[in-house]
Chains A and B, each alone.
Chain A
Amino acid sequence: MSLTTRRSRMAAATLAAITAVGGLAACGKDDDKPAAGEKPAKLVVDTFSEFGYDELVKQYEQQTGIKIELRKTAQLGEYRPKLVRYLATGKGAADVTALEEGILNEFKANPGNWVDLAPLIPDHSKEYLPWKWELGKTPDGKLLGLPTDVGSLAVCYRKDLFEAAGLPTERDQVAALWPDWNAYHQTGQKYKQATGKAFVDSITAVSNGVLFQHGGDLFYDKENNIIADSSPGVKNAWDTATSMVDISAKAQTWSPEWNGGFKQGTFATTFCPSWMLGIVQDNSGAENKGKWDVAAVPGGGGNWGGSWLAVPEQSKYPEEAAKLAEFLTNATSQVEAFKLKGPLPTNLEALKNEAFLSYTNEYFSNAPTGKIFGESVAKIEPVHLGPKHQAVKENAYEPAMRAFEGGQASKEKAWEQFVKDAATQGAF
């Protein structure tokens, strides 16, 4: 045997070994699903932001003897890429996965990744807000997610700062200050004159309020074509928000400036979907307890956010996972979660529940948040969010708006930037 052939043989063997191992790594998806009815030792739940499930999963563990691992991710922006990785590699996804409204449609586009929940649990379609239930279904009628919470809208405001500015502090009187966005702007200007400080955290926060009051199409039309530059809902939100740059603290939501702003009182109001209450509370800290209060939003109800619980196709225990999702979204659980961290129920029975309606939030000056948010739910007009809504909003719409807010671009240039970027984010 000559030296060269021996060498090439060795190389071939090594290559074969590499490809064998590489092949193994590639087909990592294991199909050893357990027999139907077999009880899992553990189920994993993935949520972002705050779902208020800490107590509920403990209850479920006691009831069923199944261990529940609750994995929390702070921000949707971090949560989504992780979820994408799990789906793309076929590994790692939780048995019960929370899906936010903004990203739901994107996942609906590939329904094969998700279990159809309808055959696994009894029919609950009549028990939830009808439009919320419908949004959890794919176009071909598969039940992808069970409704958890709905955004709804309110204004969180600092009583102590209002008082210092000579504004009323009682929540009904405060709500009466701003029947519409224009009045809100004027109140903000009064506040600024009196104190020299900013009134609202950022114009993108204002924009969220206005955007989600507009029922119907935003960045996409019903056929899911991108209409970012011509949508009246978007234009209205853009114009309203950009006009308020004079009263803005320019603190980008989720930024360090924003987090610190709650403690330091750099702004006196922010927009609070129900789920935001827990975040305002955590950011403001115990020392600001009783300084915040909740009032109605200018221009009536709206819906910012809200989620569903889905079961990924890769879950080994789809039936048990569906049951857990069913438990976490039932009427009692939704009331419990609301009391703990504020996500607003979507279950009709929960919305009528006495414990929910009479709930007052101690941190927010005992505001009757159950009543405030419960009433606003009825006024919600469902918004149509397209497949890349979240990407268009986060990577095109809001950066452009902030570029204007920060003085980097004129209003016209910022709008051009938005239209250009919306087109690439929305590309299929």
Chain B
Amino acid sequence: MSLSATTAPPSPAPPPPDTAPRRRGSLLNRFDLKYSPYLYIAPFFLIFGVFQLYPMARTAWMSLHDWDMIGEHTFIGLDNYTALLSDDYFWNALVNTFGIFLLSTIPQLLLALFLANLLNRTMLRAKTFFRMAIFVPNVVSVAAVAIVFGMLFQRDFGLFNWLLSTVGVDPIDWRNQTWSSWTAIATMVNWRWTGYNTLILLAGMQAIPKDLYEAAEIDGASQWRQFWQITLPMLRPTFIFVVILSTIGGMQLFTEPLLFGNGSVIGGNQREFQTLAMYMFEKGIYNLSTAGYGAAVAWAIFMIIVLVSLINFLLVRRSAK
């Protein structure tokens, strides 16, 4: 600045260096306003692209091939998908997945609703403790859960069979029948996810305006009636969210049945509890030469999830009207 002060002649017009920085500043400003939001959201989309979109696209590409995991790939079009439609074991896995899904989701959501309603009571002491405690099962690693429950459901020295024996029931070979294996797996899922869903439902309940209840109280409505006529209708959006989450989780069920069957991908001697995800693993990863078929199974699972979610969505829209 001192240099310019001694050499530059005084000028009547506004000095040109003044405008240049201002213009630059406004450019930066404008750039900042327009584009920085994109930068802020970019990390998500980049990660989404790398870890979700790209694998999906590649899986779709693989599903159009006769793909050997560590060897040759040949393009065969939609052959894998047509083969899928007449594959007994695919339909078997689909039935198993839905069976276990229903056995776990329905009791789980009812229980979660019940627990959330209890935790929502204003007169409950040590609320935070109970709310934390109910979430603990979800923090435990799924493998640990599956291993522990696998032992509880053991045929020879399992706790559940011991309990049954005290009331004179013969030991059950849990892995050997469809109903018993489904029950065992659904128990694991319920144990792990009930608390999680309870907390989401509880959050939804807390968002319901208190004055509704006060008004109902004044009108003389019982607790039960308040639950049916205020809590449940106001909770619908949250409930739908929970149902969709459970659907996605249920369709992707993998670790619990896998470990329950001692790590075998076929899930039981006669595939009693082989889920879709396990079938995908069997074809896509266990069996090296059928990776393309496995990819087709993966896309089938994706489409089933979309379909089920869509049905859920339509049901909600209808009941909301």
What string of 1s and 0s marks CB contacts (under 8 Å) between B134-166 and chain A?
A: 000000000000000011001111000000000
Whole-angstrom distance between the alpha carbons of A427 and B177 in the complex? 28
Which B-chain residue is minimally distant from A86 (CB atoms)?
A: B70
Cβ of A332 within 8 Å of any chain B Cβ, yes or no, is: no
Cβ of B263 within 8 Å of any chain A Cβ, yes or no, is: yes
Partner of A87, one of B42, B70, B154, B268: B70
Cβ of B229 within 8 Å of any chain A Cβ, yes or no, is: no
Contact B270 A403 (CB under 8 A): yes
User: Which B residues touch A110, using CB under 8 A?
Assistant: 68, 70-71
Contact B270 A417 (CB under 8 A): yes
- Interface residues in A, total, Cβ within 8 A: 50
Q: Which of B3-11, B46-54, B96-104, B123-131 lies at the interface? A: B46-54
Contact A88 B70 (CB under 8 A): yes
Cβ of B262 within 8 Å of any chain A Cβ, yes or no, is: yes
Within 8 A of B (CB), among A243-301: 250-252, 254-257, 260-261, 264, 266
User: Which B residues touch A255, using CB under 8 A?
Assistant: 262
Whole-angstrom distance between the alpha carbons of A260 and B177 in the complex? 22
Given contacts A84-B288, A256-B150, A427-B290, contact A22 B50 (CB under 8 A): yes
Cβ of A37 within 8 Å of any chain B Cβ, yes or no, is: no
User: Which A residues touch B50, using CB under 8 A?
Assistant: 18, 21-22, 25
Contact B269 A402 (CB under 8 A): yes
Which A-chain residue is minimally distant from B147 (CB atoms)?
A: A256
Interface-centre pick from A17, A81, A256, A403 (highest chain B CB count, 10 A): A256
Contact B270 A409 (CB under 8 A): yes
Cβ of B173 within 8 Å of any chain A Cβ, yes or no, is: yes
Contact B264 A84 (CB under 8 A): no
Whole-angstrom distance between the alpha carbons of A85 and B177 in the complex? 33
What string of 1s and 0s marks CB contacts (under 8 Å) between A392-428 and chain B?
A: 0011000110110011110000000100000001011
Cβ of B282 within 8 Å of any chain A Cβ, yes or no, is: yes
Contact A14 B45 (CB under 8 A): yes
User: Which B residues touch A19, using CB under 8 A?
Assistant: 49
User: Which B residues touch A195, using CB under 8 A?
Assistant: none
Which B-chain residue is minimally distant from A24 (CB atoms)?
A: B50
User: Which B residues touch A395, using CB under 8 A?
Assistant: 264-266, 282, 286
Contact A264 B269 (CB under 8 A): no
Cβ of A349 within 8 Å of any chain B Cβ, yes or no, is: no
Whole-angstrom distance between the alpha carbons of A394 and B263 in the complex? 11
Cβ of A361 within 8 Å of any chain B Cβ, yes or no, is: no
Whole-angstrom distance between the Cβ of A310 and the nearest chain B Cβ: 13
Whole-angstrom distance between the alpha carbons of A395 and B156 in the complex? 24
Whole-angstrom distance between the alpha carbons of A233 and B151 in the complex? 36
Within 8 A of A (CB), among B19-57: 35, 38, 42, 45-46, 49-50, 53-54
What string of 1s and 0s marks CB contacts (under 8 Å) between A102-117 and chain B?
A: 0000110110010000
Cβ of A391 within 8 Å of any chain B Cβ, yes or no, is: yes
Which B-chain residue is minimally distant from A11 (CB atoms)?
A: B38
Contact B42 A256 (CB under 8 A): no
User: Which B residues touch A81, using CB under 8 A?
Assistant: 281, 285-286
Contact A264 B286 (CB under 8 A): no
Which A-chain residue is minimally distant from B72 (CB atoms)?
A: A110
Contact B262 A260 (CB under 8 A): no
Which B-chain residue is minimally distant from A103 (CB atoms)?
A: B288
Given contacts A17-B46, A260-B157, A399-B269, contact A406 B70 (CB under 8 A): no
Whole-angstrom distance between the alpha carbons of A88 and B270 in the complex? 30
Contact A257 B264 (CB under 8 A): no
Report, nearest first, the 9 A-B pairs whose CB atoms are least far apart: A18-B49, A22-B54, A403-B269, A399-B269, A402-B269, A110-B71, A87-B70, A88-B69, A255-B262
Can you give 18 A-B contacts (C-beta < 8 A)?
A10-B38, A17-B42, A18-B49, A18-B54, A77-B264, A85-B285, A113-B70, A250-B173, A256-B154, A256-B262, A257-B157, A260-B156, A261-B156, A264-B157, A399-B264, A399-B266, A406-B173, A425-B287
Q: A10-B35, A260-B154, A403-B269 are in contact. List 11 more A-B contacts (CB 8 A).
A: A17-B42, A84-B70, A113-B70, A252-B262, A254-B262, A256-B262, A257-B157, A395-B282, A399-B264, A400-B269, A417-B270
